[in-house]
Amino acid sequence: MAASTQSSSALREKYEPVIGLEVHVQLLTQTKVFCGCSTQFGAPPNTNVCPVCLGLPGALPVLNKRAVQFAVLAAQALNCQVRETSIFARKNYFYPDLPKGYQISQFDKPLAEHGYIEIAQASGLKKIGITRLHMEEDAGKSIHDGLADSGRYTSIDLNRSGTPLVEIVSEPDMRSADEAFEYLTLLKEIILYTGVSDCNMEEGSLRCDANVSVRPRGQEKFGTKTEIKNVNSFRFIREAIEYEIDRQIEVIEAGEKIQQETRLYNAQEGRTYSMRSKEQAHDYRYFPEPDLLPLVADARLQETIRKTLPELPETRRKRMVGDYGITEYDARVLTVSKTLADQFEEAAKAARNPKRVANLVQSELMGRLKAKGLEIEQSPISMKGVAMSADLVESGAISSKILKDLYDKAFASGEDFPAVYEREKPEQITDTVALEKIIDEVIAASPKQVEQYRAGKTTIIGFFVGQIMKASKGRAQPELVNELLKKKLQ
Ligand code: ADP
Ligand code: MG
Ligand code: ZN
Query: Does 308 fall in a domain?
Result: no
Q: Is 194 helix (H, G, I), strand (E, B) or coil?
A: helix
Query: Does 439 fall in a domain?
Result: yes
- Residue 51 identity: P
- Residue 254 identity: A
Residue nearest to atom 22 of ligand 1 (CA): 225
Residues 207, 146: Cα–Cα separation, whole Å = 23
- The sign one gets for the Cα dihedral 75, 81, 82, 86 is negative
The last residue of a domain, from among 246, 271, 302: 302
The ligand whose atoms approach the alpha carbon of 23 most closely is 1
Spatial CA neighbour of 439 closest among 481, 411, 404, 401: 481
419 & 436 share domain: no
The last residue of a domain, from among 249, 272, 302: 302
362 & 407 share domain: yes
Q: Which residues contact 483 (CB under 8 A, 6 or more apart)?
A: none
- Residue 387 identity: A
464 & 485 share domain: yes
Residue 428's pLDDT is what? 75
Spatial CA neighbour of 306 closest among 129, 170, 112, 171: 112
- Residue 274 identity: S
| CB of 214 sitting under 6 A from ligand 1 | no
Query: Does 307 fall in a domain?
Result: no
| CB of 170 sitting under 6 A from ligand 1 | yes
204 & 270 share domain: yes
Residues 291, 62: Cα–Cα separation, whole Å = 9
| CB of 180 sitting under 6 A from ligand 1 | no
Element (DSSP H or E) covering residue 469 = helix 461-471
211 & 133 share domain: yes
156 & 181 share domain: yes
| CB of 175 sitting under 6 A from ligand 1 | no
Residue 9's pLDDT is what? 82
310: which DSSP letter?
P
Q: Is 331 helix (H, G, I), strand (E, B) or coil?
A: helix
Q: Which residues of 186-207 are buried (b: 16+ CB within 10 A; e: fewer)?
A: bbbbbbbbbebbbbebeebbbb
Q: Which residues contact 32 (CB under 8 A, 6 or more apart)?
A: 38, 39, 48, 52, 53, 64, 137, 161, 162, 163, 164
233 & 360 share domain: no
Q: Which residues contact 437 (CB under 8 A, 6 or more apart)?
A: none
Give me the sheet containing 102-106, strands edge to edge: 102-106, 88-92, 287-288
Question: 22 alpha carbon to ligand 2 midpoint, in Å?
Answer: 8
Question: 223 alpha carbon to ligand 1 midpoint, in Å?
Answer: 11
Residue 3's pLDDT is what? 47
Q: Which residues contact 307 (CB under 8 A, 6 or more apart)?
A: none
Question: 211 alpha carbon to ligand 1 midpoint, in Å?
Answer: 6
Residues 221, 231: Cα–Cα separation, whole Å = 28
Residue 6's pLDDT is what? 47
Query: Does 120 fall in a domain?
Result: yes
21 & 145 share domain: yes
Q: Which residues contact 244 (CB under 8 A, 6 or more apart)?
A: 210, 212, 226, 228, 263, 272
410 & 439 share domain: no
Contact at 8 Å (CB) between 160 and 96?
Answer: no
Query: Does 234 fall in a domain?
Result: yes
Query: Does 106 fall in a domain?
Result: yes
Q: Which domain holds residue 460?
A: 432-489
- The count of structural domains within the chain is 3
| CB of 169 sitting under 6 A from ligand 1 | yes
Give the environment of ion ligand 3: residues with CB less than 5 A.
35, 37, 50, 52-53
407 & 440 share domain: no
CA distances from 13 to 8, 17, 218, 249 (A): 9, 10, 11, 11
Phi, psi for residue 483 in degrees, rounded to 5: -65, -50
Contact at 8 Å (CB) between 58 and 107?
Answer: no
129 & 214 share domain: yes
Task: Give the residue ranges of DSSP H helices in 228-327.
Answer: 234-253, 299-306, 313-324
Residue 2's pLDDT is what? 44
User: Nearest 5 degrees, angle CA 101-CA 38-CA 136?
Assistant: 40
Query: Does 50 fall in a domain?
Result: yes
Residue nearest to atom 13 of ligand 1 (CA): 20
Which residues of the chain fall short of a pLDDT of 50?
1-6
> Residue 227 CA: which ligand 1 atom is closest?
12
280 & 319 share domain: no
> Residue 212 CA: which ligand 1 atom is closest?
25
Pairing of strands 261-266, 226-231: parallel
Query: Does 137 fall in a domain?
Result: yes
> Residue 222 CA: which ligand 1 atom is closest?
23
pTM equals 0.79
Residue nearest to atom 17 of ligand 1 (CA): 20
Residues 23, 66: Cα–Cα separation, whole Å = 20
Question: 21 alpha carbon to ligand 2 midpoint, in Å?
Answer: 10
Residues 231, 236: Cα–Cα separation, whole Å = 6
Maximum CA extent, the chain:
93
The last residue of a domain, from among 424, 447, 481: 424
What is the CATH classification number for the domain harbouring 451?
1.10.10.410
Calculate the dihedral angle through the C-alpha atoms of 360, 365, 371, 374, rounding to the nearest 10 degrees.
Answer: -160
